[in-house]
């Protein structure tokens, strides 16, 4: 998930460099959404691991 966010961020930066504003803003928006989804899933996984505890 984080890899996809970084890929869309790079696409947004390259598109902005070449002057494609619409594509750059769309790619940046997608990257931002994917990053926040990644963060939420990471926090949920960490909480679930803390609640469950360590298994032998």
What is the count of structural domains for the chain? 1
**pLDDT tens digits, residue range 6-55?**
888 888 888 888 888 788 888 888 888 988 999 999 999 899 888 987 66
Nearby residues of 9 by Cβ (< 8 Å), 6 or more positions away: 27, 28, 31
Domain that includes residue 41, residue range: 2-52
Q: How far is CA 4 from CA 1, 34, 55, in A?
A: 5, 7, 32
Judge whether 27 and 15 are in contact, CB under 8 Å: yes
Q: Taking 80 as the threshold, does the pLDDT of residue 2 lie above it? A: no
The confidence score (pLDDT) of residue 4 equals 82
pLDDT of residue 40: 94
Distance CA(50)–CA(55), nearest Å, equals: 11
């Amino acid at each position: 998930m984080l890899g996809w966010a970084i890929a869309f961020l790079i696409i947004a930066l390259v598109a902005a460099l070449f002057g494609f504003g619409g594509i750059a803003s769309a790619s940046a928006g997608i990257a931002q959404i994917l990053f926040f989804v990644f963060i939420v899933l990471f926090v949920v996984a960490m909480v679930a691991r803390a609640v469950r505890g360590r298994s032998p």
